[in-house]
Amino acid sequence: MTTRAGAHFPTRLALQGRRVLVCVGGGIAAYKALELVRELKRRGASVRVAMTPAAERFVAPLSFAALSGEPVARDLWSDAHRGEIHVELGAWAEAVVVAPATANLLVRAASGLCDDVVLATLACCRAPTLFAPAMHERMWRHAPVARAVRRLRDDGARLVGPVTGPLASGEVGEGRMSEPSEIADAVERILASTGADLEGVRVLVTSGPTLEDLDPVRFLGNRSTGRMGHALARRALARGAHVTLISGPVALEPPPGAEHVAVRSALQMHEAVLARADAQDAIVMAAAVADWRPAEPSTDKLKKPDGVTETTLRLVRNPDILAELGAWRAARGQRRPVLVGFAVETRDLEQAAREKLRVKRCDLVVANLAADGFGGDEDVALLVDEDGVASTGRIDKHALADLVLDRVRARLASG
């Protein structure tokens, strides 16, 4: 991540003493997992390896054993483990990286299947998990695989790659596994933001759209899916925070452990946030709250009278929750709760974010272009605060959530 001034934010953190489990799937790219093990070791990690039966068809377990310096977990049923190897490995790992993550592994892991040592360990492990998919582009685009990826992400897993490039078939396409050094970078980022550094911190996160009813069957809404807000809630929980998630209607499950408040309209969200604001250390407003609502929602379904070809909808302004929070905090003369706003724009991103920071009197604005982030699993964001502007580059929403929470933590630490 770089700032405007060109300063460099440290992203390459040493892996000294960190425990990383590498799960190898049965794809051509399994040979690159050897290099990954070397790279992780080079950065100081203790590495253990688990292989699927298919992976052994591509690379000999002995190679992984030699590079990691540890016996390889190959067989759920082996009595050599003297117990449940998946339980032991799952408890040992601080981070898990699945490389290559085959189409088969992704779909089976998303379903929670546990019939080999890799899948059983994934099911048994609560450490952050990073999948590095590798497959032919048609497999990557196969609907069940795409569904599985989405499901894994929604359950909190991270992905690195795949990238576009030459595939094993000789064709060029999206499906090539990321390079081992890039995967190791991603492991570093994950481990840099684990640990309970938000222990005891109370964080309120808003997520999703609000829907403004026109009549009993129609509403005005927006395209927010809640992925960003839910990722924030999930990461804050993982870092030890007490999380209240106030969410508009979304298709996502609230993360276990969060206090979940379901709302529908901007007015409901306004009420739910203000009622809880005083108890928070930080409020992160990731929801896409409607600016306007129908002035007179109808209790009956609106009809279209014969011959009428035009109609006018009268709208009234919704309360501006973030601006109210900023004003309320300023009136109290306090720096808490830390306030974070999100801005989705279609142009003049930085200018709009700076303006929002000033007008809403918040501490940080996370700004993105609608085309970059709305609805997807990744984003390209600007982090704008009083110190300046930093661009994240294309980034997974969970990783972006960690960057935002890093800023929140720093703000809380500064008093």
Ligand X SMILES: Cc1cc2nc3c(=O)[nH]c(=O)nc-3n(C[C@H](O)[C@H](O)[C@H](O)COP(=O)(O)O)c2cc1C
Candidates 97-105, 185-193, 274-282, 368-376; binding stretch for ligand X (CB under 6 A): 97-105
Which of 1, 28, 369, 412 touches ligand X by CB under 6 A?
28
Cα dist. 237→5, 29, 156, 377 in Å? Answer: 33, 34, 11, 19
Contacts with 348 (C-beta within 8 Å, 6 or more apart), sequence order: none
Selecting among 104, 222, 318, 368, the annotated active-site residue is: 222
C-beta separation of 31 from 60 below 8 A: no
59 binds ligand X (CB under 6 A): no
Identify the residue among 15, 22, 25, 366 touching ligand X (CB under 6 A): 25
Determine, following the binding rule CB under 6 A, whether residue 104 of this chain makes contact with ligand X: yes
- AA letter at 202: R
Residue 52 interacts with ligand X (CB under 6 A): yes or no: yes
Q: What is the C-alpha R_g of the chain?
A: 24
Q: Is 222 a catalytic residue?
A: yes
Contact 170, 211 (CB under 8 A): no
Near ligand X in 203-262, by CB under 6 A: none
Q: Which of 103, 183, 228, 325 binds ligand X (CB under 6 A)?
A: 103
- Contact between 121 and ligand X per CB under 6 A: no
* Bridging pattern class, strands 212-215 and 218-220: antiparallel
286 makes contact with ligand X (CB under 6 A): no
Pick 24 or 191: Cβ nearer ligand X? 24
Residue 272 DSSP SS3 = helix
Interaction between residue 49 and ligand X (CB under 6 A):
no
Cβ closest to ligand X, residue 52 vs residue 210: 52
Determine if 163 is a binding residue for ligand X (CB under 6 A): no
110 binds ligand X (CB under 6 A): no
Told to check if 114 binds ligand X by CB under 6 A, we report no
Contact call for residue 105 and ligand X (CB under 6 A): yes
Closest approach, Cβ 407 to ligand X, in A, equals 37
Instruction: Indicate whether 98 belongs to the interface with ligand X (CB under 6 A).
Output: no
Long-range contacts of the stretch 222-225 (C-beta < 8 A, 24+): 222/288, 222/290, 223/288, 223/370, 223/374, 223/375, 224/248, 224/250, 224/287, 224/288, 224/374, 224/375, 225/250, 225/251, 225/252, 225/374, 225/375
138 binds ligand X (CB under 6 A): no
Cα–Cα nearest to 321, from 365, 289, 280: 289
User: Segment near ligand X (CB under 6 A), from 102-110, 185-193, 247-255, 374-382?
Assistant: 102-110
Q: Which of 26, 17, 185, 18 is nearest to 118 (CA)?
A: 26
- The rounded distance, in Å, linking the Cα atoms of 31 and 164 is 19
Q: Candidates 6-14, 26-34, 323-331, 357-365 — which segment interacts with ligand X by CB under 6 A?
A: 26-34
Nearest-approach distance from CB 27 to ligand X, in angstroms: 3
Distance of alpha carbon 130 from alpha carbon 152, whole angstroms: 10
Instruction: Tell whether residue 162 is a contact of ligand X (CB under 6 A).
Output: no
Single residue of 1, 3, 19, 54 touching ligand X by CB under 6 A: 54
Of 99, 139, 187, 382, which one interacts with ligand X (CB under 6 A)?
Answer: 139
CA dihedral 38, 394, 167, 61 (to 10 degrees): 30
Contact predicate 15/188, CB 8 Å = yes
Whether the CB-CB separation of 359 and 343 falls below 8 Å is answered with no
271 within 8 A of 256, measured Cβ to Cβ: no
**Least distance CB 149 / ligand X (angstroms):** 12
The set of catalytic residues is: 222
Q: Which residues bind ligand X (CB under 6 A)?
A: 25-29, 52, 54-55, 102-105, 134-135, 139, 168
